[in-house]
Amino acid sequence: MASPRGGDSHDSPCPASPSLRVPIGCDNSVTSSDWATQSRDWAGPEGGAGWGCGGLGRCVGPQGMWRAGSMSAELGVGFALRSVNERVQQAVARRPRDLPAIQPRLVAVSKTKPADMVIEAYGHGQRTFGENYVQELLEKASNPKILSSCPEIKWHFIGHLQKQNVNKLMAVPNLAMLETVDSMKLADKVNSSWQKKGSPERLKVMVQINTSGEESKHGLLPSETVATVEHINAKCPSLEFVGLMTIGSFGHDLSQGPNPDFQVLLSVREELCKKLNIPADQVELSMGMSMDFQHAIEVGSTNVRVGSTIFGERDYSKKPALDKSTADLKTSAEVTQAH
């Protein structure tokens, strides 16, 4: 692997992410499979102060907070976040120069995870979090501990939004973005609901595209994108269209080439920008999850949604009400590419 240190795209070896306040290591001498073992050799502090970080394997800090283990959750949220951020920067360094030079935003997907883990991640500098169920998001975002310890938190809604849940979503404190607008009607409903709230700022929205063409998947057909974005721009003054989102298929084998879902989203943006005469750097792309966020960034993602790599595997057995989301994601693993 090439080292991004001294790469010409950064002024400093450790460019700060807008959503991150902690310094991030920039030496990529440690790969994702290495770091679990290497971490046994060092100890890190709570709170992120006083790190000497030339790379993951060489971080030094006060004794005792990290336990040996192979899962991110066992190693600690702070360690996992640092690793993910380092890998984000490595992917940025590999990104072709013809793609918009946007620092990708890391959305830490905290679904099924307790408020304490959100607060821990926030303590390590993470500011943007994602949830895919309205009720769970409302409860977490309204949690008094989160409200008092995370004043700058930003919540992204990344799940399927039903019209009857729109008002509830609009009541979520610190809601920063809705990534999953998938019809003009939903946009209208969100627009009027946000308007009623009387917020001085427009609500940032992304339009979700069904890039795999699967019937069971949420999202607009690529061919519906232009009209929908035009509709939002013209008829939804309380909304600010900021980008396109896809979940895409699971299990794509990268040795077979770039993920076709990501390629579809890129071409949808290209067409949209041409038709509406807007620069590509004004249309974000939300794509990439735990298993493929680096690849997603390399091909142009500006918003990666990473859950289990930061917070550990999700245990749905304790929360039967959330089973549907595993089902959703499992289905996407079985998507056969229509491309």
Name the minimum Å distance from CB 151 to ligand PLP: 25
Using CB under 6 A as the binding rule, whether residue 77 contacts ligand PLP is answered as: no
Of 55-63, 181-189, 229-237, 301-309, the window that binds ligand PLP (rule: CB under 6 A) is 301-309
Chain positions 309 to 338 lying near ligand PLP, rule: CB under 6 A, are: 309, 325
Using CB under 6 A as the binding rule, whether residue 3 contacts ligand PLP is answered as: no
Using CB under 6 A as the binding rule, whether residue 181 contacts ligand PLP is answered as: no
Question: Which residues on neighbouring strands pair with residue 204, listed in sequence order?
Answer: 177, 240
Cα–Cα dist 277/16, whole Å = 31
Name the minimum Å distance from CB 15 to ligand PLP: 23
Chain positions 221 to 260 lying near ligand PLP, rule: CB under 6 A, are: 247
The kind and range of the H/E element at 179 are strand 175-181
Contact between residue 30 and residue 8 where contact means Cβ atoms under 8 Å apart: no
Using CB under 6 A as the binding rule, whether residue 308 contacts ligand PLP is answered as: yes
Task: Classify residue 184 by burial, with Cβ atoms within 10 Å: 0-12, 13-18, 19+.
Answer: middle
Name the minimum Å distance from CB 208 to ligand PLP: 9
Cα–Cα dist 305/292, whole Å = 10
| Virtual torsion, Cα 142, 285, 308, 50, nearest 10 deg | -80
Name the minimum Å distance from CB 293 to ligand PLP: 8
The kind and range of the H/E element at 140 are helix 134-142
Using CB under 6 A as the binding rule, whether residue 104 contacts ligand PLP is answered as: no
Tokens of 217: 């998947």
Of 73-81, 144-152, 194-202, 306-314, the window that binds ligand PLP (rule: CB under 6 A) is 306-314
Cα–Cα dist 178/315, whole Å = 25
Question: Which residues on neighbouring strands pair with residue 155, listed in sequence order?
Answer: 129, 175
Cα–Cα dist 205/245, whole Å = 10
Using CB under 6 A as the binding rule, whether residue 158 contacts ligand PLP is answered as: yes
Residue 59 or 109 with smaller CB distance to ligand PLP: 109
Please pick, from the candidates 132, 225, 294, 301, the single residue that binds ligand PLP as defined by CB under 6 A: 132
| Phi and psi at residue 87, to the nearest 5° | -70, -30
**Angle formed at CA 220 by CA 219 and CA 223, multiple of 5 degrees:** 150
Of 18-26, 96-104, 190-198, 302-310, the window that binds ligand PLP (rule: CB under 6 A) is 302-310
Using CB under 6 A as the binding rule, whether residue 177 contacts ligand PLP is answered as: no
Please pick, from the candidates 290, 319, 324, 331, the single residue that binds ligand PLP as defined by CB under 6 A: 290
* Residues in contact with ligand PLP by the rule CB under 6 A: 109, 111, 132, 158, 247, 289-290, 305-309, 325
